[in-house]
Amino acid sequence: MKRTVSFLFALMLLFVSAAYADDGFSTSYTYGYDYWEDVQESPDAYRVKTVLDSTNLGMDKLDNQVLRKPQSLFVKDQELYICDTGNNRIIQVHVSGDRYDVVRVINAVKGSAEDYELAESFNLKSQEYEKAITERVKAEEKLAEMTGTSQEEENSEAAAVMEEVQERVNEVLGTESTTEAPEEVSASDAEIEAATLALEQAREREEQIHQETVEAEEKAKAQGCSIWQYDAWQKDGEGNIVSVLNTPNDIAVDDTGNIYIADTNNYRVIKMDRDCNLIWEFTKPLDATFDQSQNFLPKKIVVDVAGRVYALCQNINKGLVKFEEDGVFSGFIGANAVSVSMVDYIWKRYFQTKEQRAQTANFVPTEYENICIDADGFIYATTTVFSEGDLRWDNAKPIRRLNSLGNDILIKNDKIPPIGDIEWISGGGEATGPSKLVDITVLNNDMYVALDRVRGRLFGYDSQGVMLWAFGTKGNVDGAFNGAISIEHIGHNLLVLDQLKNSITVFEPTEYGKTIYSAIDTYLSGEYDESAALWQEVLKLNANYPLAFRGIGRAVLRQNKYKEAMEWFELAHDRENYGRAFKLYRKEWVESNIWWIVLVVALLLIVPLAIGMIKKLKWEVIMHEHSKVRK
Amino acid sequence: MSIAKSASKGVKPLRSTSEKTESRKAWWKRYLASMKYGLHVITHPFDGFWDLIHEKRGTIAAANTFLILFLITRVLKLLLTSFQFISAPIQYINVFQEMGSLALPFIILCLANWAMTTLFDGKGRFKDIYMAMCYALIPYILIQIPMIVVSNMLTYEEGSFYTVLLSFSVIWCVFLVFVGLMEVHDYGPGKTFIFLIVTIFGAAVIIFLLLVFFSLLGDALSYFISLYREIVFRLN
């Protein structure tokens, strides 16, 4: 008994001691994940070049207004646009080397006076029309009160109602003594007649104004009126027609220099030329597919090469609102697919009562967090609404690359899909749960960098979805973030906007980061030997870099050194490439050892055969001897 | 055999070293025969398991050997299979932990099965159940060891051959466990199936009891330790 207990005790100790001490939490600034999903510390791929805040942008000299809650960055060539959302303005900064000069501040858009008049006439007419409708309704109500009939049926069919009212009035007038009309009807005949007349007049007026409104709209459209949000416009002192921005959340600039602004609280997307003259206002689509009870609140916009505008709108979960170049709403693209688990469905469908079903949330698709467009016109979108369990098996898809049909075509060739942090053990602070990727920017060669707001980290991925590096942290020092909100790039430099620190951190790649980039570049341009040499350089700086193993392996494979290539691929845990190298190696081995193989096979066949023959021969000899003896 | 022969010749066995070596030889012979009998069991499971128990064709020594070979196969598979087919974090593998995590459930399952079937007129003793379960592991050993070598001669794309054989070995083992228990307890297939499920529940109960036992043991120990400290503290 004593022995058994001590044995069991020893077993228990064995299991306890086997628990890993490593909690997977990184202490270094830059890191990566190895094949086993363990954090591997890494040399820094990026260093802070400079931190731009209101002071070193010179905003204090310009108008003494510091940045307030900036929401978005946009870079076109060497121009950096900062959406200073809290101050209702956009700051354009010219970047040349280490210099960052504020070029201008955009806080309003200029419209043409003719368009303003057209919009004014249309908008006044439509206001009049609304007034006419209310008047007509009032007249109807008044008449109904007098005749004491319910108004509800009459509202539905205008023409029929008219006749009906006429009939009833006649009834009341003609057969007053025998009427079945309610007692409370106390109005005199004259009053009723007057009310009927007023109603008829109101109807006529409504019809007429409606006609005029339609005419005004058609006229405005025919003359190419660009202004639709009439309320937002006003005449300034010099008689210019201007409209002030109201919480601009995002900006985009196309190749011709036209500027697009998501003017959220004015319910519009503005398209204007480089001198801030309005070209078109994209407003709420009056389409049945767009929920008319919701306001049009564009948060993020991108523009493709053809000038189509894709707007990510608040409270709209059907995907991105797409406008053609001429401002016509042409539908939604890239809606998040609704995913329902089998268990959920059965539970909801068969076990809940109608009331319970009504109370629980519907299966609705989620909204995107941010969008970005790459050089090929594909939209990269990030989403932060998912369940943790869906992340690892690639059901959540926090990063997507949408084609024109709105399908996700992001390439994922690594063991783990691109989801930001793989392990999210809380580091003691408020940062818990998986990475929430708030923005993404696409570099050359389809590499992309995603920004995590939970831990203030940046994750770089190559075109195959393999993580290049991850870095960043929360905090107040340079290179740490409190409220990371937007990311952009100029070349390989990265710019990260912090909405709480009101600053932009500019990162530049270190020697290590630069070597990785050039190794990828050279490989993609077909210079495999140069690429291998560069990967060797990377390995000198970071001996735990799977991409380097793979890169060297591929180069070595091209030099027909199969055995060596196999070793590199094994280090990289690259099964496909290992298989390729091994197949060639096996072929070579069989060819060079063919005679040995033949010999072994022959021996395996011949030796038993020979032994059998000898035995048989022996047996025959013995039998022969026996037969002799018998004779 | 040799003893039987010598006995039939009427030579009286002597109590000497020669007799000892004789009996050792006989043991080895029986052991090897029971090992060889394993091949018969896996190919003719219905007859094989019946004779294994009732005709005393199997030995505990052979059963132990198969269990140990199974554990070794398992570890070898983790360490030597080509990385294309298995992703074992070699830096984390503790050989003894790996073996323990297989052997312990195995013993617990045997125990649970014995505990359950004794109550419902199963004919098998614990020894028989253990022996049958161990013999049922033979296909795993026979197929997986060559597959370790084969895996190093195949590429990732040709892996279907490898995976099919691996799953075949496991299915064979499960089938043998089923038939083995059926023969050992003299049950019908339906009853065997039910008791397989019951066995799993029984194993869960045993694990629960073990956990309770160890946590109580830990509590008791810490109680006495703190008592001792308290006394020492007061005495000083």
Which DSSP symbol is given to A445? G
3-class secondary structure, B91:
helix
B155 to A583: CB separation less than 8 angstroms, yes or no: yes
pLDDT (average), residues A150-160: 50
A61 vs A272, residue with greater confidence: A272
Chain A hits for B97, CB-CB cut-off 8 Å, are 14-15, 18
Q: DSSP of A463-518, one letter per residue?
A: TTS-EEEEE-EESSSTTEESSEEEEEEETTEEEEEETTTTEEEEEEE-HHHHHHHH
Nearest-neighbour CA in chain B from A6: distance (Å): 11
- Each residue of B138-155: pLDDT tens digit? 999 999 999 999 999 999
Looking at residue A150, what is its pLDDT?
Answer: 47
The tokens describing B227, both together, are 């008592």
Q: Which residue has the tokens 């467009």?
A: A373
Give the integer Cα–Cα distance in Å for A145 and A148.
Answer: 5
Percent of chain A as helix, strand, coil, to the nearest 5: 40, 25, 35
Chain B hits for A24, CB-CB cut-off 8 Å, are none
A11 to B83: CB separation less than 8 angstroms, yes or no: no
If residue A595 lies in a helix (H) or strand (E), which one and from where to where?
A: helix A594-630
Looking at residue B217, what is its pLDDT?
Answer: 96
Q: Do A455 and A439 touch, CB atoms closer than 8 A?
A: no
Q: Is the pLDDT of residue A349 over 90?
A: no
Q: How many other CB atoms are there within 10 angstroms of residue A311's CB atom?
A: 26
- Compute φ and ψ for A94, nearest 5 degrees: -95, 125
Confidence of residue A149 (pLDDT cuts 50, 70, 90): low
Closest chain A residue to B88, measured at CA: A36
Looking at residue A241, what is its pLDDT?
Answer: 86
The tokens describing A211, both together, are 């006609």
Q: Is the pLDDT of residue B183 over 90?
A: yes
Give the integer Cα–Cα distance in Å for A401 and A299.
Answer: 19
Share of chain B above pLDDT 90, in %: 76
Domain spans of chain A? 115-222, 529-590, 593-631
Q: Is the pLDDT of residue A151 over 90?
A: no
The tokens describing B167, both together, are 């799953």
Burial category of A505 from C-beta neighbours within 10 Å (exposed 0-12, middle 13-18, buried 19 and up): buried
- Each residue of B25-62: pLDDT tens digit? 999 999 999 999 999 999 999 999 999 999 889 999 99
Ramachandran sector of residue A406 (left: φ over 0; alpha: ψ -120 to 50; beta: rest):
left
Radius of gyration of chain A (CA): 38
Closest chain B residue to A5, measured at CA: B214
Q: Is the pLDDT of residue A420 over 80?
A: yes
Share of chain A above pLDDT 90, in %: 42
Those residues whose C-beta lies under 8 Å from the C-beta of residue A530, and which sit 6 or more positions away, are A522
Confidence of residue A127 (pLDDT cuts 50, 70, 90): confident
The tokens describing A521, both together, are 């570049």
Give the integer Cα–Cα distance in Å for A9 and A14.
Answer: 9
pLDDT (average), residues A547-567: 92
Q: Give CA angle at A331 (A329, A336), nearest 5°.
A: 140
Q: Which of B84, B91, B106 to mutate to test the interface with A (most CBs of A within 10 A)?
A: B84
Those residues whose C-beta lies under 8 Å from the C-beta of residue A314, and which sit 6 or more positions away, are A264, A297, A299, A367
3-class secondary structure, A401:
strand
Q: What is the dihedral of CA A346, A352, A358, A362, to 10 degrees?
A: -20
Chain B hits for A580, CB-CB cut-off 8 Å, are 155
Which of A9, A18, A583 is nearest residue B94 as measured by Cβ atoms?
A: A18
- Each residue of A64-80: pLDDT tens digit? 788 989 999 999 989 99
Which of A15, A18, A579 is nearest residue B157 as measured by Cβ atoms?
A: A579
Nearest-neighbour CA in chain B from A491: distance (Å): 38
Q: What is the pTM of this model?
A: 0.77
Nearest-neighbour CA in chain A from B156: distance (Å): 5
- Compute φ and ψ for A103, nearest 5 degrees: -85, -50
Q: What's the residue count for chain A?
A: 631
The tokens describing A280, both together, are 């078109």
Q: Please provide the average confidence, as pLDDT, over all residues in chain A.
A: 84
B214 to A570: CB separation less than 8 angstroms, yes or no: no
Q: Is A18 on the interface with B (CB under 8 A)?
A: yes
Q: List, as ranges, residues 98-127 from B with C-beta within 8 Å of A.
A: 100, 104
Chain B hits for A582, CB-CB cut-off 8 Å, are 155
Q: Do B114 and B185 touch, CB atoms closer than 8 A?
A: no
- CA torsion sign for A63, A68, A71, A77 is positive
Could you say which architecture CATH assigns to the domain A529-590?
Alpha Horseshoe (1.25)
Q: Strand A248-253 to strand A241-244: parallel, antiparallel, or no bridges (unpaired)?
A: unpaired
- Compute φ and ψ for A352, nearest 5 degrees: -100, 150
Looking at residue A167, what is its pLDDT?
Answer: 65
The tokens describing A307, both together, are 């000038």
Q: Is the pLDDT of residue A182 over 60?
A: no
Q: Is the pLDDT of residue A145 over 90?
A: no
Give the integer Cα–Cα distance in Å for A579 and A585.
Answer: 10
Burial category of B101 from C-beta neighbours within 10 Å (exposed 0-12, middle 13-18, buried 19 and up): middle
Give the integer Cα–Cα distance in Å for A545 and A40.
Answer: 9
Q: Strand A379-382 to strand A457-461: parallel, antiparallel, or no bridges (unpaired)?
A: unpaired
Strand ranges (DSSP E) for A291-357? 298-303, 309-313, 320-323, 329-333
- CA torsion sign for A131, A132, A133, A137 is positive
B9 vs A599, residue with greater confidence: A599
